[in-house]
A and B are shown apart, each in its own frame.
Chain A
Amino acid sequence: MTKLVINDLSCHYNGHAVIKNLSLAIESNEIIALLGPSGCGKTTLLRTIAGLQAVSNGEIHLGDKLVSSANFMLESEKRNVGMIFQDYALFPHLTVAQNIAFGLSKLDKLAASQRVNAMLTLVKLNDFSDRFPHEISGGQQQRVAIARALAYQPDLMLLDEPFSNIDSQSRSEIMIEIRHILKTQNVPAVFVTHSKDEAFAFADKLAIFNNGKIEQIGSAEQLYCNPNSPYVANFMGKANYVPITAINGRSVSTLLGDIVVDTSTREHHNIAMLRPEQLSLTEQSSSALEIGHSFFCGSHWVHRLSSNGSPEQPIEVHCKKSYRVGTKVAVSVLDHELVTFAS
């Protein structure tokens, strides 16, 4: 069942369009990451879903209920949506338990305290229920924010850059934990981030934002291996772009040789996108390319190739083997599904 449907949404802020004709749908139990550089409109989208920002065109439906349109805006408190803010927004004058109980004023005392205890257990903070927010760590504050939002039993969870204030050592642990909590509670989520690593670890699907529009949506692997534009390709990771010199029959010709591929849909394409790990090197003293710069980064070596005198974008290759700077090398393309673009 679809939990959230956004239709042809536009949104203006201080006179200029921040979101332009955007559509998006989220299935139940699905976590979607809105990924993009800062200022691209992803937080604005989150705020429109939360009812904190008016829309100028289009519609937002939660479940089967219309919540926002150009001339209608359901109040935030009536949407039954949970939100985790970047600064967690814990109430500093309330204890952990009181924070979690904040949204439960409609429940009777016993039911509320049972819910609070269940949430404390869920986020493993039973021993901290009487502490104030400033007396616990950043990761614990984060979990209180999650517990507070979940205690309210929202139909949808919105998370705005929730991991950016957590130190990088504990970040991946916390992401796994919170993803697990959301999945077991069966709450779908929309998650805003500018870091692709966070999106990879936390989300089922990624929506790449560019200037108020979704450029492409899909699983992390899909977007990495099959980006539909250089923008998405670059956002997902390092990419080399090699001009296509000719397309003939079942292969395309490039500077790095011919690559066998289905050419039927690539009539006007003139650039091939090659990930650094899709290339391999062999020593060849007659080659025009040589190792210009290289360093070891743990799982592999990074080599940057310079062709003598050519000022073009250097080609980057990731491989297991080390080469000395200055070594003449030939590059070959490993077998994979080639991505090409029309420039």
Chain B
Amino acid sequence: MYIKLNFKWPAASWLLSLLIFLPLLAIIWQSFGDDQAVFSHLWQTVLPDYLLNTILVVAGVSTLSMLIGVPMAWCIAMCNFPLRGFFVWAMLLPLAMPSYVVAFVYTDLLEYAGPVQGTLRQLFGWNSASDYWFFDVRTVGGAIVMLTLVLYPYVYLLARTAFVEQSQTLGQSARMLGCSPWQSFKRVSLPLARPAIAVAVSLVAMETLADFAVVHYFAVQTLTTAVYDTWLGYGSLAAAARLSALMLAMLFILISVERIGRSKQRLYQRSTGQESINRYSLKGAKAFCAFSFCLLIFVLAFAIPFISLVDMAIEYFDQSWNEQFLQYSINSFMLASTVALICVIIGLLLSYFKRLSQGKYGAVPAKLASTGYALPGTVLAIGVLIPLSLFDHGLNNVWEYFGEEGPGLILSGTLFAMIAGYVVRFCAIAIGSIESSLNKVTPSIDMVSVTLGMSPLKMLFKVHLPLVRKGCFAAALLVFIESMKELPAALLLRPFNYETLATYVYQFVSDEQLEHGALAAIVIVVVGLVPLIILNRSLEQQ
């Protein structure tokens, strides 16, 4: 459709999206800069180990998530067994658990002085650690298990959807051509779900790659902790940028896998999802196995950590319910609301521009601005710091040139950096959400508005905004929640002495005193449950 847009629209859209894209460019540019040999020093000493650890953790979490997620998805999608209806959504709950909280709870339970080893000692009459062998949680293996417990739901969710959305006639066809149920799973269902599983596993791998808190807490050195230490320890932005570029390369591979998976998925999942599924009814031992497998994972990944949190929060309520808690809650709330508002405005502008522009490059600004979401929080923080500190130093130099004392780090050392970082990271969510609700508005609505003499701006406010109100609200909510939970970027970008709930909780985790932060952790978990409820409702409506 032809709508004449004046110069302001493309100018604003392109400028904004380039600004949001800037951190990524900055990392690539900076990684070629001079880093006083910090990177080569790292490369000759610890970096190979860090790299190996990173690969180990990513591969371990991906494999384990697949081993848990795929069988679980198949059981829940295709079989009837006790409490199946509960497990359908309960298996998603661990997504709301911050990984470092799970890690802390299990360290606490399984350490030498913890209840598990204590009970074992009492039971068998052991006196000291030398009397028996017990595994150590704070290792690469431990990190893999902890991260799997909170990330397997991606595999479960996407694989279950794939199984449910496979056309039922395919399985029936296989049966009619002489396949037993197991053969029909192996020869038809599983190959068809493979692209979806690949997508899910690459998402898990990306999240694992981006994880900072668990590996840092377990003192497992990976690329994310290296980025953090290089910046805070050596103060070398260039070396941090090189490490980040290394992670970007790994990320690029994972994103390619994800893209290929998605394109195949469109071909393989063509059912409308309206046919009812004839689920296998499991009986006896089989039903018991399916039930206890789901229950075990639910207890390990959600029930134990959550109950521990509640227990700690009740016991330490008086110490936790203090001014700091309230202050940091307000900090988090204000920060997340501001970011949500900015992201929605950006999302609205860019997706509206995409809709109205007829040039072939009209979709580019929205795409550029969506790249930040794939970046790990630590990498993104470095990317944001590079241009901001450049600007601050330039500004101070100008002041000093005139013989005055500079204004200081007015961008990189203030809340501005934090908000900028969050906006870059989360505006992809807002763009995606608003774009999909704009797509549901038929183009003839635009044509009618134009023929009735509306300008693009007037049309946005009078026609589209009321129609995509819900999409904007959902976008704001999701950005808000993600901002409440974000940790690594906050740790690197926060101004001196500024805490959010996430950094506050993480502080207690690092200090082995989560009891005092349990209340704050519960707030984060409960906030994280909101999108799961929305997700579950939308799945049920299908």
Best-surrounded residue of A52, A81, A149 (most CB of chain B within 10 A): A52
Task: Please state if A76 and B176 are interface contacts (CB–CB under 8 Å).
Answer: yes
- B452 CB, nearest partner CB in chain A, Å: 38
Q: Please give, as numbers and ranges, the residues of chain B lying within 8 Å of A86 by CB-CB distance.
A: 169
A148 and B178 in contact, given A83-B172, A87-B169, A91-B170 (Cβ under 8 angstroms): no
Check if A102 is an interface residue, CB within 8 A of chain B.
Answer: yes
Task: Please state if B178 and A77 are interface contacts (CB–CB under 8 Å).
Answer: yes
Check if A106 is an interface residue, CB within 8 A of chain B.
Answer: yes
A81 and B176 in contact, given A89-B169, A91-B170, A92-B267 (Cβ under 8 angstroms): yes
> Chain A, 59-102, contact with B by CB distance < 8 Å: what is the 0/1 string?
00000000000000001110101110111010111000000001
Task: Please state if A50 and B191 are interface contacts (CB–CB under 8 Å).
Answer: no
Q: How many residues on B have C-beta within 8 angstroms of the other chain's C-beta atoms?
A: 20
- A264 CB, nearest partner CB in chain B, Å: 50
Check if A58 is an interface residue, CB within 8 A of chain B.
Answer: no
Best-surrounded residue of B172, B173, B267 (most CB of chain A within 10 A): B173
* A85 in complex: contacting residue of B169, B187, B191, B278, CB < 8 Å: B169
- B408 CB, nearest partner CB in chain A, Å: 61
Which residues of B (148-176) have their CB < 8 Å from a CB of A? Answer: 167, 169-170, 172-176
Task: Please state if A83 and B178 are interface contacts (CB–CB under 8 Å).
Answer: no
Best-surrounded residue of A83, A93, A105, A148 (most CB of chain B within 10 A): A93
- A190 CB, nearest partner CB in chain B, Å: 13
- A205 CB, nearest partner CB in chain B, Å: 23
Q: Please give, as numbers and ranges, the residues of chain A lying within 8 Å of B173 by CB-CB distance.
A: 83, 85, 89, 91
Check if B395 is an interface residue, CB within 8 A of chain A.
Answer: no
Q: Please give, as numbers and ranges, the residues of chain B lying within 8 Å of A102 by CB-CB distance.
A: 174, 177, 187
Task: Please state if B176 and A77 are interface contacts (CB–CB under 8 Å).
Answer: yes
Which residues of A (167-188) have their CB < 8 Å from a CB of B? Answer: none
Check if B310 is an interface residue, CB within 8 A of chain A.
Answer: no
> Chain B, 168-199, contact with A by CB distance < 8 Å: what is the 0/1 string?
01101111111110000001100110000000
Q: In the docked arrangement, what's the CA distance between A87 and B271, Å?
A: 10
Check if A103 is an interface residue, CB within 8 A of chain B.
Answer: yes
Q: Please give, as numbers and ranges, the residues of chain A lying within 8 Å of B9 by CB-CB distance.
A: none
* A105 in complex: contacting residue of B169, B170, B178, CB < 8 Å: B178
* B192 in complex: contacting residue of A87, A92, A134, A148, CB < 8 Å: A92
Which A-chain residue is minimally distant from B179 (CB atoms)? A77
Check if B268 is an interface residue, CB within 8 A of chain A.
Answer: yes
How many chain A residues sit at the interface, stated as a range, is: 20 to 34
- A74 CB, nearest partner CB in chain B, Å: 12
Check if A152 is an interface residue, CB within 8 A of chain B.
Answer: yes
A52 and B178 in contact, given A89-B170, A93-B268 (Cβ under 8 angstroms): no
- A326 CB, nearest partner CB in chain B, Å: 43
Best-surrounded residue of B177, B180, B187 (most CB of chain A within 10 A): B177
Which residues of A (117-147) have their CB < 8 Å from a CB of B? Answer: 134
Which residues of B (279-324) have their CB < 8 Å from a CB of A? Answer: none
Task: Please state if B167 and A87 are interface contacts (CB–CB under 8 Å).
Answer: yes
Which A-chain residue is minimally distant from B195 (CB atoms)? A93
- A83 CB, nearest partner CB in chain B, Å: 5
* B177 in complex: contacting residue of A52, A93, A152, CB < 8 Å: A152
Q: In the docked arrangement, what's the CA distance between A103 and B178, Å?
A: 6
Task: Please state if B268 and A85 are interface contacts (CB–CB under 8 Å).
Answer: no
Task: Please state if B192 and A89 are interface contacts (CB–CB under 8 Å).
Answer: no
Task: Please state if B175 and A148 are interface contacts (CB–CB under 8 Å).
Answer: no
Q: In the docked arrangement, what's the CA distance between A86 and B175, Å?
A: 16
Q: In the docked arrangement, what's the CA distance between A50 and B191, Å?
A: 25
- A126 CB, nearest partner CB in chain B, Å: 21
Q: In the docked arrangement, what's the CA distance between A83 and B173, Å?
A: 7
Task: Please state if A52 and B174 are interface contacts (CB–CB under 8 Å).
Answer: no
Best-surrounded residue of B170, B187, B268 (most CB of chain A within 10 A): B170
Q: In the docked arrangement, what's the CA distance between A312 and B480, Å?
A: 68
Which B-chain residue is minimally distant from A158 (CB atoms)? B176
Which B-chain residue is minimally distant from A145 (CB atoms)? B173
* A148 in complex: contacting residue of B177, B179, B191, CB < 8 Å: B177
Best-surrounded residue of B176, B177, B178, B268 (most CB of chain A within 10 A): B176
Known: A77-B180, A81-B176. 12 other contacts (CB 8 A): A52-B175, A75-B180, A77-B175, A83-B173, A83-B176, A85-B172, A86-B169, A89-B169, A91-B170, A148-B177, A149-B177, A152-B176
What are 7 A-B pairs with beta-carbon distances under 8 A? A50-B172, A50-B176, A77-B176, A85-B173, A92-B270, A93-B191, A103-B178
Enumerate chain B interface residues (CB-CB to A < 8 A).
167, 169-170, 172-180, 187-188, 191-192, 267-268, 270, 278
Q: Which 3 A-B pairs have the closest CB atoms?
A: A103-B177, A89-B169, A89-B173
Enumerate chain A interface residues (CB-CB to B < 8 A).
50-52, 75-77, 79, 81-83, 85-87, 89, 91-93, 102-103, 105-106, 134, 148-149, 152
